[in-house]
Structure 1
């Protein structure tokens, strides 16, 4: 659309239109810009497919690109498939319910659905932000391709003899749906503890309580004897947990057993 404006550049007219004469020079400029755009897009696709998007982002970081730019590109690339899938599901729902209506009405409803896609994308971005915050996300991850990340985070001891994590009769619900009911447990320092259950069982909700993002309706959550919801500043960067996402493009894909062994390599007090 923007390129089409060059068709009306001053020069020798070819044909007159209500918007003005289309000129030889305008057609030449239009074809030149269109060719450059096509070649640039083609080169971008070839480079990304050959080198890998994660390597492109790493090189941008090495060239001192703004952290906001690299993160925006990373998450745009990561959630592009999710965005397209959401749009396709909504269009499929429209097609299944909109048979027999006129073409104009169909496209009017389709336009409304496109707006709804952006609303859903905004709502999902809030959940993604919560997930990032709960994992102590702070900067662009630097992971070499073909390698699995192993590290031992620095976790200074706050002192005291209280259990590392303690839940006392924790209850929580989303609206009228009860998710956690009377959860009580103690995890001592150095223990390895796993939460198992199907989707919707409340695993993530429970973890959000451990770093203070969510507060229990009843009961108490303590980390080294402190309430994480009230003492996030004192606990600082200690409040984070790690989850391996096999669909995350910046971390190499591993098998389930590899992810399990990677998790066992994390250590800290």
Structure 2
């Protein structure tokens, strides 16, 4: 029996579309009312092809692109792994029939069946079920099984958090590289050499453009990357939570040792 994925992301995207529509309805008339044709023409004249090239193709910007691309590839790989892990919920790992019970003598045969079904793949759900069955075969206590499942879920979650360390470093490095470009631009602005004030002002303005361009690109990339990190982390946390729920419904609530009061 598969566990349905959460519908929360779909609702969030729907709310985002509604928010965009509301803002567009409010802002568009104000832009048409307050923005003169001269200001729009001036804006188009300012953002020329050469200006856009300086904005997006600086040395620091290219370094930011490399870090962002590296992080996105890692996140894409981790998200594909989450999707592969979720296929385990459709496997026949435990009896799901109504009224089915798991006795201590059933634990080891079910464990061998689990190994055959999963073919030794490192699946989060399979790890929780296998450890729970092994503990039940030894202790015959549902309380001990619940503790083992909970501890293993914490281990799996910690492993996932540790695996995101490189991505977290890259998410921190991107704005840091942008600030390096900012410092370089500011240093060039104050260190500009010119024969007159007009030339000094022109050179300083060019250097300041470089400084703020680096910061702008780096911060935008960082915002996008942090959202992707948040989305992948939430998918991984949901995977572990659903695995615990599966164990609760199909393992813990079906354990029966045959003792008094069970």
> TM-score, with normalisation over the residues of structure 2?
0.23
> TM-score, with normalisation over the residues of structure 1?
0.22
Give the structure, 1 or 2, with the largest relative contact order (CA under 8 Å, sep 6 or more): 2
Rg larger for? 2
Structure number having the greater helix percentage: 2
